């Protein structure tokens, strides 16, 4: 076994085994501190970094697969279309998965904010859920625009 394959296996093990375990750990810590913060009246910004850490741990295996595809020794390693297809797939995934899920989360936040679920006093300002609805609708609009742009790029034909 040479150094390259040993380093590759170590990175694969860290990305595919350790990172998801740490992600689950950070989600548990976030949930614990979320309950503690609401009990003591602290702002949510004190524990959201655990939430971001958890999701970044869940994204690392995919990013490692992307880097492996770019640095692989196969025939596609020097093909310029590899980068184009990777960026196209990432943009497509963003428009088809991430933005609609963000819209769902924002609309759920709007329902919770409008009903007073997230309020300690039960008093909800009139504008409370409005920004969540706006962000959800803008996520859906941006998703459609990105899909349209990708459609034009993928189906482009030469002029002349």
Residues 6+ apart with CB under 8 A from 59: none
Long-range contacts, 151-155 (Cβ 8 Å, 24+): 153/88, 154/88
Taking the model in full, what pTM does it have? 0.54
Q: Tell me if 56 sits within 8 A of 20, measured CB to CB.
A: no
What is the tens place of the pLDDT at every residue in 43-82?
A: 556 667 888 888 888 888 888 777 776 666 555 556 667 7
CA atoms within 13 A on the CB side of 10: 7
Q: How far apart are CA 122 and CA 94, in angstroms?
A: 36
**Is residue 99 exposed (0-12), middle (13-18) or buried (19+ Cβ within 10 Å)?**
buried
What is the tens place of the pLDDT at every residue in 72-121?
A: 655 555 666 777 777 778 788 888 888 898 899 888 888 877 666 666 65
What are the boundaries of each domain within the chain?
Answer: 1-77, 79-160
Encoded tokens for 64: 């490692």
């Amino acid at each position: 076994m040479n150094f390259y394959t040993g380093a590759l296996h170590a990175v694969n093990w860290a990305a595919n085994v350790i990172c998801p375990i740490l992600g689950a750990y950070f989600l548990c810590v976030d949930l614990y501190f979320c309950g503690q913060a609401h009990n003591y009246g602290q702002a949510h910004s004190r524990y959201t970094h655990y939430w971001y850490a958890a999701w970044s741990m869940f994204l690392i295996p995919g990013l490692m697969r992307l880097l492996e595809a770019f640095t692989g020794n196969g025939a596609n390693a020097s093909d310029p279309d590899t980068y184009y297809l990777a960026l196209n797939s990432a943009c497509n995934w963003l428009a088809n998965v991430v933005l609609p899920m963000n819209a769902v989360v924002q609309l759920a936040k709007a329902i919770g904010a409008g009903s007073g679920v997230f309020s300690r006093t039960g008093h909800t300002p009139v504008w409370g859920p409005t920004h969540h609805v706006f962000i959800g609708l803008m996520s859906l609009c941006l998703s459609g625009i990105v899909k349209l742009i990708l459609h034009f790029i993928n189906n482009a034909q030469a002029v002349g």
